[in-house]
Structures are given as structure tokens and as C-alpha cells.
């Protein structure tokens, strides 16, 4: 009896959500080009979820993203444009998923190798888009693993860079982050964190987890997300973490071809004009949204 009620209750929630999606779609008005391709029902749900299902707030947020995407053009970034940022493996897509099948990005701030914040953000945006491109069907979110090996106040991420990163993730990739594990951050990081956490909205803040090797509860929480055999030793697991820049570059070049097909760039080398309607994406991967 309870199960039957629970199912009908879930269906009711689903119906209500779909009504909100329809309402948001109507509020946005006619879309064309990449905007039409970007604003799938799943995308609209993410923006609604990020704004507690308030249609007006979700509409404002989504319109800001569409403006950002029209100028920043994240789907057009190609690996060769940002490859120099990735030479040390400071951010890269892992070759394993978490227990829920989510794509995993590994961030190693101690491996910072450049000084241009704009280029660093562009590199991260490329990899967020790539993580989304490589999500398995039915999965919408990614996980972040942040390794503080080699991190010190001398190679500290500038506050502006941290703020820009948070703004891009929260404002333009809502509900894409499932969890971010900060593994064994040094004590000096605490002062930095006290500033950064003010940039985080409550939902994002709840997704950030600190893990300390000597804290059994935090280690168990992390292992509830990851198979210890896949998890690199840097994160308390058993796997060897090796970043091969040449091999990763080959993977990204292949993914750039895949992204071009998803967005229709293989048919329209110069991209879409504002009036064009994007062709239906091929079923290689869900378009970044």
C-alpha cells in the first residue's frame, strides 16, 4: 500500500515538474540555433531545480546563460586552444566513473602552471563541457576530486580565479556538480576557504565535502561514492594516478570531433547563424546543457 502511494506521489511530482518545464518554455519564447538545442527539457529542469522551481527566477538565470554562451561560445573551444593549460595535469577528466556512473574531473591546484586567469577559466570550461559530453545516458552530473598535493600559499589560487570558477559553475552549469571532494587540504587552506565559501550558494555549499585520511567518517563518505580500486592513491584509493599529456590530448582531439557532431559543426563548419535551427544532435552524447 505504501509503495503504491509512493509511486503515485512521485508521478504527481513528475507531472508538476513537467508543468513547470512547459511554463518555463513558454516564458522563454521562440528559440533558434544553439539556444534551441541547448534548452532541452532536461536543461530546463536543471535551471528550475537550481531556483527551487520558481519559473521567473529560472527564466532569468537561463537567459543570462544563453547570453553568456552566445559570447563565450564554450561549445566551440577546442583542445589545441587550451592544451598548454593542461600540460601539468592540473585539471583533467579521469578514466573512471563514480559509483553512480558520473564523469569525474580531477583538479590538482598544486600543479598550476600559468598566470592568465582568463585562460585558466577557459580551460576549465572546456573540461566541464567535455565531462558533460562524456556522461552516460541518463546521467546529468559530474563529480570533482580535488588533490592538494603540492599546494601552498605560493601557488595559491587567486581569490578572483576562485570566484570566477564558482560563478561559471553555479550560474551557467546549475545542477551539473553532484559532489566535490577536497582531499586532505592543508591547514593554511582554511583561511582561503573562509573567503571562497561566501561565493557559494547553499546548494553548492552542501556539495563540497572535506576528506581527511585520519577522519574515518569523511573517508567512508568518499568511499560511498567511489570504488577504492578505481580511486587513486592520492585520494586514499589503490589505483595509480598517471597523467599522460600526449595521450590525454589524443583523447580530447577525438572528443572534439564528437562534440562537433553533437553540435552540428561537422555539417556547418562555421557554426550556426542566429536564425538557423540546429539539426537534431546525433545520439553520440547529450549536448552540453
Domains for the chain: give ranges and CATH numbers. Answer: 2-72 (1.10.8), 78-251 (3.40.525.10)
pLDDT of residue 268: 54
User: What pLDDT sits at residue 282?
Assistant: 36
Look at the pTM and tell me if it is higher than 0.75.
Answer: yes
Please, what is the angle between helix 159-172 and helix 189-196, to 10°? Answer: 40
CB atoms within 10 A of CB 96: 16
pLDDT at 277: 35
Q: Could you state, in chain order, the average pLDDT of each consecutive group of 10 residues for the chain (289 residues)?
A: 40 83 96 93 96 96 97 96 97 95 94 92 97 94 93 70 91 97 90 88 94 94 95 94 95 96 73 37 39
* Res 220: pLDDT: 95
Residue 228: DSSP 8-state: T
3-state DSSP helix/strand/coil % of the chain, to nearest 5? 55, 10, 35
Q: How far apart are CA 68 and CA 26, in angstroms?
A: 21
Report phi then psi at 183, rounded to 5.
Answer: -90, 120
Of 48, 28, 47, nearest to 36 (Cα)? 28
> Contact at 8 Å (CB) between 129 and 256?
no
Q: At what angle do helices 2-28 and 41-50 cross, to 10 degrees?
A: 100
pLDDT number for residue 153: 67
Amino acid at each position: 500500500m505504501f509503495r503504491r502511494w509512493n509511486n503515485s506521489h512521485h508521478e504527481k511530482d513528475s507531472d508538476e515538474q513537467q508543468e513547470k518545464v512547459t511554463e518555463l518554455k513558454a516564458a522563454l519564447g521562440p528559440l533558434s540555433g544553439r539556444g534551441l538545442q541547448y534548452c532541452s527539457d532536461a536543461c530546463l529542469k536543471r535551471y528550475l531545480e537550481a531556483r527551487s522551481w520558481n519559473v521567473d527566477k529560472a527564466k532569468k538565470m537561463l537567459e543570462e546563460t544563453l547570453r553568456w554562451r552566445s559570447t563565450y561560445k564554450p561549445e566551440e573551444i577546442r583542445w589545441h586552444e587550451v592544451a598548454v593549460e593542461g600540460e601539468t595535469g592540473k585539471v583533467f577528466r579521469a578514466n573512471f566513473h563514480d559509483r553512480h556512473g558520473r564523469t569525474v574531473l580531477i583538479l590538482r591546484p598544486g600543479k598550476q602552471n600559468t598566470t592568465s586567469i582568463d585562460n585558466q577559466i577557459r580551460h576549465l570550461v572546456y573540461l566541464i563541457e567535455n565531462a558533460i559530453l562524456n556522461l552516460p545516458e541518463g546521467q546529468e552530473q559530474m563529480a570533482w576530486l580535488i588533490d592538494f598535493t603540492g599546494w601552498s600559499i605560493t601557488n595559491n589560487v587567486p581569490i578572483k580565479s576562485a570566484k570566477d570558477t564558482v560563478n561559471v559553475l553555479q550560474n551557467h552549469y546549475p545542477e551539473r556538480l553532484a559532489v566535490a571532494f577536497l582531499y586532505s587540504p592543508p591547514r593554511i587552506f582554511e583561511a582561503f576557504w573562509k573567503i571562497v565559501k561566501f561565493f557559494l550558494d547553499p546548494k553548492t555549499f552542501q556539495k563540497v565535502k572535506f576528506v581527511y585520511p585520519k577522519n574515518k567518517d569523511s573517508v567512508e563518505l568518499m568511499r560511498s561514492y567511489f570504488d577504492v580500486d578505481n580511486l587513486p592513491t592520492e585520494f586514499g584509493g589503490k589505483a595509480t594516478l598517471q597523467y599522460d599529456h600526449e595521450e590525454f590530448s589524443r583523447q580530447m582531439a577525438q572528443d572534439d570531433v564528437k562534440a562537433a557532431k553533437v553540435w552540428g559543426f561537422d555539417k556547418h563548419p562555421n557554426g550556426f547563424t542566429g536564425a538557423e535551427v540546429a539539426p537534431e544532435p546525433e545520439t553520440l552524447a547529450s549536448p552540453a546543457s
